[in-house]
Structure 1
Amino acid sequence: MTEQTGQDGRRPANDGPKAAVRNRAALVAAAREIFAEHGLEAPLSAIARRAGVGQGVLYRHFPDRTAAVAAVLEENVGQIERAAGTAGMSFADVLGVLTWHLTESSAFIGLLHTDRPAGRADIRAHAVGLSGRVERALRRRLPDGHRLSGAQDLTLAVAMVSAAVTGPTREERERRALAAWRLLGVELGPVRAFGG
C-alpha cells in the first residue's frame, strides 16, 4: 500500500472528526444540487464528485439513496422549524424561508406531495413525518384569522405553490413561486435561507 503525501513530501494531517463534519456538510450541499438538477434518481457517484470526496466517504455518511434524501429533507425542515421558533419572525418571513427551500430543492417539493402514489415508498414514508413538521412549524406563526387558517387551507396553499415551482433555473422557479403566492393573495417575506 502506498502512502499519500502532499507537495512538500509530508503526509497530510488527519483532521479526524472535523473532516467528517466538513465532508457531511459538503455531501448534503452536493446532494441538494444534484437532486435539484437531475431528480431523486440521480447517481450517488455524482454527489460524491460534486462534494469532492470519494464514494467510500459518501457511503460512510449515507449508506443508501434514502439516507441521502433524508439528510437533505431534514436540513430543509430543520431550517423552517428554526425560523418559526425565532422571535421576531413573522408568518410571511417563515413562508419566505419555505419558498427558498422550494426553489432550491426538488427533493423538498416531493416531500410536500407525499400523498402521490408514485415514487419510492421508503422515501415517501419518511417524508410523511417531515411534511407534518413543516405544517406544524408554519402554523406556529400563522396569525388568527389569516386567509390560510382554515383546516386544510395552509396545506393546500403550500401544495399549490410547490406544484408551480418549475423551471430550469433557480430564478425561474422563484419567479413562479412568487407569482403563485401573489395569486393566492398571501404576503411573503424575503426568499432566503434561514440565517442567510
Structure 2
Amino acid sequence: MTADVRRGNRGPAASAGNRLAILAAARVVFATRGYHAPLSAVAKEAGVSQGVLYRHFPTRLALALAVFDEHWTEYERLAADPDPGAFVRLWSLVIERTINEAAFVEMVVDARRQAADYDGAERMRSLLGPSLARAQAAGLADAALTVDDVMLAQRMVYGIVVTAVDTTALRDQVRRALATARLLPPA
C-alpha cells in the first residue's frame, strides 16, 4: 500500500512563505520581462495559484510597490549618510537600477496615473536635495545643478533604456548622455 504524498492545502500557514515567494518571483519576472509581464508568469514562477497572488496583491501596482519598496529603503539609507560622497553613490545606484530594472520606472509612471496619493517624485526629491547640497558644498557636484536637473537626467536615462535597439552599447550610451548633461557620476 502506498501512502498519499500529495501536499495538502496548508491555508493560512503558507501565507508568509507564499508572499515571499511571490515577491521573489515578481523581481525575476519584472526584471526579465518588464513591468507589464503577465501576472500569471509571476504566479507560476512563485509556485502559487493566481488566486493566491491576488489575495496578497490585488493589483499589479500593489505587487510592484511591494517589490520595489526595498529600493526606497536603500535610497533612504544612502541619502541619510552625511558623507558628501553619498550623493554620488545614491545617483549611481538610481542610474544603475534604471538601466537594469526599467520596470521600476514603469511602476512609478503607473503609480502616478493610478494612485493620486503616490508621492514617488517628491520622495525622491527629498532624498536627493540634502545629499546633493552636501556633495556641492564638498565640490563633488556642479554647484549649478538642481534636484530637478537630476530628476530630468534620470528620465533621460530611462528614455535611452526603453528605446535602445541594441542593448550591448546601452551603458556607453547612458554614460555619454550623462556626460553631455554634466551629470556623470565619477568613475
Aligned length: 176
* One-letter amino acid matched to 1:149: L
Q: Cα gap change, 1:78/1:110 in structure 2, threshold over 3 Å: closer, same or farther?
A: same
Counterpart position of 1:156: 152
**Pairwise CA distance, 1:181:** 2.4
Counterpart position of 2:46: 51
Q: Cα gap change, 1:92/1:134 in structure 2, threshold over 3 Å: closer, same or farther?
A: same
Q: Cα gap change, 1:101/1:22 in structure 2, threshold over 3 Å: closer, same or farther?
A: farther
Counterpart position of 1:193: none
Q: 1:78 aligns with which of 73, 81, 88?
A: 73
Secondary structure at the residue paired with 1:131? Answer: helix
Q: Cα gap change, 1:129/1:172 in structure 2, threshold over 3 Å: closer, same or farther?
A: farther
Cα distance between partner residues in 2 of 1:78 and 1:28: 16
Cα distance between partner residues in 2 of 1:151 and 1:134: 9
* TM-score, with structure 1 as normaliser: 0.68
Counterpart position of 2:119: 129
* TM-score, with structure 2 as normaliser: 0.70
1:179 paired to 2:176: yes
Cα distance between partner residues in 1 of 2:67 and 2:168: 21
* One-letter amino acid matched to 1:52: G
* One-letter amino acid matched to 1:184: A
Unmatched tracts of structure 2, length 5 or more: none
Unmatched tracts of structure 1, length 5 or more: 191-196
Q: Cα gap change, 1:91/1:59 in structure 2, threshold over 3 Å: closer, same or farther?
A: same
Cα distance between partner residues in 1 of 2:167 and 2:18: 25
Q: Tell me, yes or no, if the aligned pair for 1:95 and 1:188 is still in contact at 8 Å.
A: yes
Q: Cα gap change, 1:5/1:67 in structure 2, threshold over 3 Å: closer, same or farther?
A: same
**Pairwise CA distance, 1:121:** 2.8
* One-letter amino acid matched to 2:185: L
Cα distance between partner residues in 2 of 1:144 and 1:72: 32
Q: 1:65 aligns with which of 60, 64, 72?
A: 60
Counterpart position of 2:136: 144
Give deviations 1:120-170, integer Å, cap 9, x for gaps. Answer: 8315x45x4012212211223112363363363222222222222234798
* Structure 1 segment 29-48 matched on structure 2, within 5 A: 29-48=24-43
Bigger-Rg structure (1/2)? 2
Greater relative contact order (CA < 8 Å, ≥ 6 in sequence): 1
Secondary structure at the residue paired with 2:175? Answer: helix
Q: Structure 1 vs Structure 2: percent identity of aligned residues?
A: 30
**Pairwise CA distance, 1:92:** 0.9
Question: Which runs of 4 or more aligned residues in structure 1 lie more than 6 Å from their structure 2 counterparts after TM superposition?
Answer: 168-171
Cα distance between partner residues in 2 of 1:45 and 1:153: 38
